[in-house]
Amino acid sequence: MSEPRGARPQIEPQGARPQIELRALRKVYPTPGRDVVALDGIDLSVPRGAIHGIVGRSGAGKSTLIRCLTGLERPTSGSVTVDGEVLSDLPESRLRSARRRIGMVFQHVNLFDSRTIAANVAYPLEVAGVPKAQRAVRVAELLDLVGLGERADAYPAQLSGGQKQRVGIARALATEPAVLLCDEPTSALDSATTRQILALIRDLRDRLGITVVLITHEMGVVREICDSVTLLEHGRVVEHGPLGEVVGAYGSRLARELIPVPDLPLGDERSLVEVAYSTDDVATHDVLAAVADLGTQVEIAAGTIETLAGRRVGRLQLDLPADEVTAALGRLHAAGVHAEVATR
Amino acid sequence: MSWWDELANNRVIQQMLPEATYETVAMVAVSSLLTALVGLPLGVLLHATAPGGLAPQRVVSSVVGVVVNFGRSVPFLILMIAVIPFTRWVVGTSLGWEAAVVPLTLGAIPFYARLVETALREVSPGKVEAARVMGSTRTKIIGGVLVREALPAIVAGLTVTVIALVGYSAMAGVIGGGGLGALAISYGYQRFDPSVMIACVAVITVLVVAVQVIGDLTARRLDHR
Ligand SMILES: Nc1ncnc2c1ncn2[C@@H]1O[C@H](COP(=O)(O)OP(=O)(O)O)[C@@H](O)[C@H]1O
Ligand SMILES: [Mg+2]
């Protein structure tokens, strides 16, 4: 089996300090009975202007990680550096002003129902002590930026879920943060609205050069906007890397989930072999030729070929007699094609 | 003579009902005001110091909690009598509506504080977290987020409290607090004049309905959900 390529350290742009850097981050929640280790030695760096996805099952530690990035949660050990400021060392009073360099978007948006849209967006500016006249100008700018200029005087209850999240994004951007943290920003939205919100986030990154960390459990979100991705499990980084590398790491879990093939029923005495390739390594017709060479007993039961992160990648499920598996794997490997018995 | 004429021409009603109504309104208004002034901060304290609150303080939280629970569990009639020395010390006498304000306020504060605490608990913790991420201080969050977001419920709680105070104010009449309660007892009950009783009940009903309507309208105006 090939080594997951995503396990390599991430490549940083030459000379640039990463915008976000976690070193040996550990967070333990002391609970009665037993301590919960939510984060267990996380190393992570995100370059300026990148959109970095963090995925993992519920309870993997994603929210804890993002709370450490806001300074709402103090690490048990290790360091958190955001925009050159070592948050993990700052006293609470300094943390409050450091948080102005961080914007956060929540799954449940968390707008203030008692305030108008404009007042919601103005809140962080109010907190930062921006004079009223300046606030009004900035709020109008921000609402235009997210396409809600006309709804300034509405209350959150009068908006749709997608519009609320736009307000949430405008509010997060109010103090011109260097970093935008998003905790499941689209999990409560339908798929069309999800795409619009993701497009907005990407557009904002392109225009403002902001660095984005985005937590999600939907691989579709990662495929749509992330430049790089980290898979968390039990508080540890299991896989990580730029999207293009991760999808090319054939055996990796991220690659499997990013380019899924359906689960297939299996006949008696039959086995499934999974073939994965990238056209950087081998052309599609060579893969298909190698598969065809295996003989008529071998059927392509399912397959996906697509372009992701600028890379054309494919994944095939071969349905073949169980006693031909070893021979087939040998011949495919000899042809330079990655293949393994499908795990299900 | 119709029942209405009987009510309208009743000498006791003519002479004493306006005064009694004034006393009841004054008693309820002053004790409501004091209750709101003390109960609101106390409710905020209960909420903020609770585990998981903005400023968790185990000791403060349990001490205040016990005092409030104790205050709520003492029957009003007993509280009224028990605090007479305190009332004398504060007001100078234990008679009259001014004196009745003391037990009424003491009885209503813990009741209202719990209602405020419940209202604050309904504010989603996500809103508080959002305010903290935006760099807000705990003090600003209490006023600008917690209380503000809970205001419709806090007003609804005050409405319930004021209506309860109208009821208790009638009881305060029994031990010399004056007001509609005293009038109903001394003429309606002891001298058995049903007209006086009916008139007192009618005025109290009007007061309660008025408080409810004003409270509901205010809460609705404040509620933008
Ligand atoms: N305040 C807390 N106290 C105790 N345990 C917590 C707390 N917050 C999170 N945890 C635990 O830490 C682990 C990671 O939680 P979380 O970061 O919320 O995961 P995710 O966002 O990936 O679902 C879970 O086991 C969770 O139960
Ligand atoms: Mg979470």
- Best of B58, B124, B134 to substitute, by most chain A Cβ atoms within 10 angstroms, is B134
Interface contacts A/B by beta carbons within 8 Å: 61
Q: How far is CA A26 from the centre of its chain?
A: 20
Task: State whether residue A171 sits within 8 Å of chain B by CB.
Answer: yes
Structure tokens of B43?
Answer: 């409710």
Closest atom of ligand 1 relative to the A65 alpha carbon: 17
B94 C-beta neighbours (distance < 10 Å), count: 22
Distance between Cα A112 and ligand 2 center (Å): 21
Task: State whether residue B11 sits within 8 Å of chain A by CB.
Answer: no
Domain count, chain B: 1
CB nearest A157 (choices: B127, B130, B225): B225
The pLDDT assigned to A335 comes to: 86
Question: Taking CB atoms and an 8 Å cutoff, what residues of chain A touch B224?
Answer: 113-114, 155-157
- Please give the residue of chain A at the shortest CA–CA distance from B220: A114
CA distances from B153 to A55, A126, B172 (A): 38, 25, 28
- Residue B45 falls inside a structural domain: yes
Q: Report DSSP letters for B9-23, one per residue.
A: H-HHHHHHHHHHHHH
CATH number at residue B38: 1.10.3720.10
Q: How far is CA A320 from the centre of its chain?
A: 36
- Residue B8 falls inside a structural domain: no
Report whether residue A142 contacts ligand 1, using a CB cutoff of 6 Å. Answer: no
Report whether residue A38 contacts ligand 1, using a CB cutoff of 6 Å. Answer: yes
The pLDDT assigned to B191 comes to: 83
The pLDDT assigned to B166 comes to: 94
Distance between Cα A58 and ligand 1 center (Å): 9
Structure tokens of B60?
Answer: 């403060």
CA distance B163 to chain A (A): 26
Reported as type and span, the H/E element at residue A150 is: none
Say what angle helices B194-222 and B11-49 make with each other, to 10 degrees: 40
Question: Taking CB atoms and an 8 Å cutoff, what residues of chain B touch A99?
Answer: 132-135
- Residue B210 falls inside a structural domain: yes
The pLDDT assigned to A111 comes to: 97
Task: State whether residue B222 sits within 8 Å of chain A by CB.
Answer: yes
Q: Which amino acid is at A170?
A: A
- Residue B3 falls inside a structural domain: no
The pLDDT assigned to B52 comes to: 87
Decide if B131 and A102 are in contact by the 8 Å CB cutoff: no
CA distances from B25 to A175, B101, B167, B168 (A): 50, 11, 12, 12
- Residue B197 falls inside a structural domain: yes
Decide if A127 and B136 are in contact by the 8 Å CB cutoff: yes
Strand partners, A106: A183
Please list, in sequence order, all residues whose beta carbon lies within 8 angstroms of the beta carbon of residue B203, skipping any fewer than 6 positions away. B17, B21, B24, B180
Q: Are A300 and A274 in contact (CB under 8 A)?
A: no
Distance (Å, whole) CA A249 – CA A253: 9
The pLDDT assigned to A259 comes to: 86
The pLDDT assigned to A16 comes to: 65
Distance between Cα A253 and ligand 2 center (Å): 20
Q: Are A10 and A52 in contact (CB under 8 A)?
A: no
Nearest residue (by CA) to ligand 1, atom 18, is A63
Tokens 């400023």 found at = B55
Of A26, A28, A29, which is best to mutate to test ligand 1, by the most ligand atoms within 8 angstroms of its C-beta? A29
- Residue B6 falls inside a structural domain: no
Q: Which amino acid is at B84?
A: I
Q: Are B47 and B86 in contact (CB under 8 A)?
A: no
Q: Which amino acid is at A17?
A: R
CA torsion sign for A59, A65, A67, A68 is positive
Report whether residue A36 contacts ligand 1, using a CB cutoff of 6 Å. Answer: yes
Report whether residue A66 contacts ligand 1, using a CB cutoff of 6 Å. Answer: no
Q: Are B151 and A114 in contact (CB under 8 A)?
A: yes
A162 C-beta neighbours (distance < 10 Å), count: 18
Q: How far is CA A315 from the centre of its chain?
A: 22
Task: State whether residue B1 sits within 8 Å of chain A by CB.
Answer: no
Closest atom of ligand 1 relative to the A58 alpha carbon: 23
Closest-CA residue to A84 (of A133, A147, A19): A19
Task: State whether residue B55 sits within 8 Å of chain A by CB.
Answer: no
Decide if B130 and A70 are in contact by the 8 Å CB cutoff: no
Closest-CA residue to A302 (of A330, A344, A269, A336): A344
Report whether residue A62 contacts ligand 1, using a CB cutoff of 6 Å. Answer: yes
Strands ordered across the beta sheet of A236-242 = A102-106, A179-183, A211-215, A51-55, A228-233, A236-242
pTM over 0.90: no
Decide if B129 and A110 are in contact by the 8 Å CB cutoff: yes
Report whether residue A58 contacts ligand 1, using a CB cutoff of 6 Å. Answer: yes
CA distance A110 to chain B (A): 5
What is the three-class DSSP state of A207?
helix
CA distances from B113 to A114, B68, B100, B122 (A): 22, 8, 20, 14
- Residue B61 falls inside a structural domain: yes
From first to last of its 225 residues, chain B has per-residue pLDDT tens of 577 887 778 887 888 899 999 999 999 999 999 999 999 999 999 999 999 899 999 999 999 999 999 988 999 989 989 999 999 999 998 889 999 999 999 999 999 999 999 999 999 999 999 999 999 999 999 999 999 999 999 999 999 999 999 999 988 887 788 899 888 888 877 888 888 888 999 999 999 999 999 999 999 999 998
Is B105 exposed, middle or buried, given 0-12, 13-18 or 19+ CB atoms closer than 10 A?
A: buried
Instruction: Scan residues 98-137 of A and list those with Cβ closer than 8 Å to B.
Output: 99-100, 102, 104, 106, 108, 110-115, 123-124, 127-128
User: What are the 10-residue block averages of pLDDT along chain A, 344 residues in total?
Assistant: 39 64 94 92 94 94 94 92 89 87 94 97 95 95 94 95 96 95 93 94 94 93 93 94 86 85 81 89 90 88 86 89 90 88 75
What is the three-class DSSP state of B215?
helix
The pLDDT assigned to B1 comes to: 58
Distance (Å, whole) CA A54 – CA A241: 11
Q: Report DSSP letters for A76-111, one per residue.
A: SEEEEEETTEEGGG--HHHHHHHGGGEEEEETT---
Nearest residue (by CA) to ligand 1, atom 16, is A61
- Best of A112, A121, A171 to substitute, by most chain B Cβ atoms within 10 angstroms, is A112
Report whether residue A60 contacts ligand 1, using a CB cutoff of 6 Å. Answer: yes
Delineate the domains of chain A, giving CATH numbers in brackets: 20-248 (3.40.50.300), 262-341 (3.30.70.260)
Distance (Å, whole) CA B40 – CA B29: 16
Nearest residue (by CA) to ligand 1, atom 11, is A38
Distance (Å, whole) CA B179 – CA B169: 8
The pLDDT assigned to A344 comes to: 59
The pLDDT assigned to A29 comes to: 94
- Residue B102 falls inside a structural domain: yes
Write out the residue range of the structural domain in which residue B187 sits.
Answer: 13-222
